[in-house]
Structure 1
Amino acid sequence: MTKSLEQQFVTELEANQNIIHKVCRVYTNNSDAHKDLFQEITIQLWKAYPKFRGDSKFSTWMYRVGLNTAITLYRKSKRQIQTSDISDFHYKLESSEYDSEIDDQMKLLYKAIHQLSDIEKALILLYLEDKPYVEIAETMGITEVNARVKVNRIKTKLKTILNP
């Protein structure tokens, strides 16, 4: 690989690394697994980068590679993903920004998301990122209509989990 290709990759990765962290947060249950999955996704992105044609946004492509890597890794290893408290992930927030009610709601939401299937997790993650349905469909390799239907079903399922 050329030096400029490597520099482009590093620049894109740094600008979009939160995508990988979000995928890791949804598919792992502790900080060690998070770090391992982050590393594996980064490796897969690096391997696939020379083939990235730019037909879609880098972030869309990154989501697709990240989600496929996470799903494949956990299906292959046959690990049962267990839920964990979101407090395992430490965030640097100024005390004036901290809102315990929002934190509690986020913990409940992530706990509910952990109960979804791998594909449902991927879809709701993209939806929560405010990705347009066109981009969700492109990332997941489904039609836009199918993406809308699936997301609505997942939202209903999450409401049921959160409000039994």
Structure 2
Amino acid sequence: MWPERHLKTGDLLPTFCLPDQDNTVICSDALLGRRFVLYVYPKDMTPGCTTEACDFNDRLQSISPEAEIYGLSPDSPESHRRFRDKYKLEFTLLSDPSLETIKALGAYGTKTNYGREYQGLIRSTFIVDRSGRIESALYNIKAKGHAERIKSLITGV
């Protein structure tokens, strides 16, 4: 078992290089100089994850002048491409099947469901500033209404 550590405001974003839905590798170093939202979700095409993705997509125009949006899950690039196409998502989805980046973000750990503890992905969102530092780290979030909360944090409205 690995130590569970959540990121906090001021921490540096762990470095990564991950494929997107088109198998183009996106590295965190290439995102320096840009403010962005990185939201971690469990699985493409599931009800909660679809709600969250579509909510972010619906708010893209109000968030994107201030920050880019990236989704991250263990799903394959091919799964991401199907998910993105089906729901006409206009932002990038990153693939981390090894869970290495997801674990480094503190977005994988002990969960409880119906009294049973197990290891799993923790729905999380990170707002990252232009220098690669965490502005805000949110863990154990609820999918519904979350994109609106992030929009408020990003835009101040």
Q: TM-score range by the shorter chain?
A: under 0.3
TM-score, with normalisation over the residues of structure 1?
0.24
Larger RCO of the pair (alpha carbons < 8 Å, separation 6+): 2
- As a proportion of its length, which structure holds more strand? 2
Structure having the larger proportion of residues in helix: 1
- Which protein is bigger by CA-based radius of gyration? 1
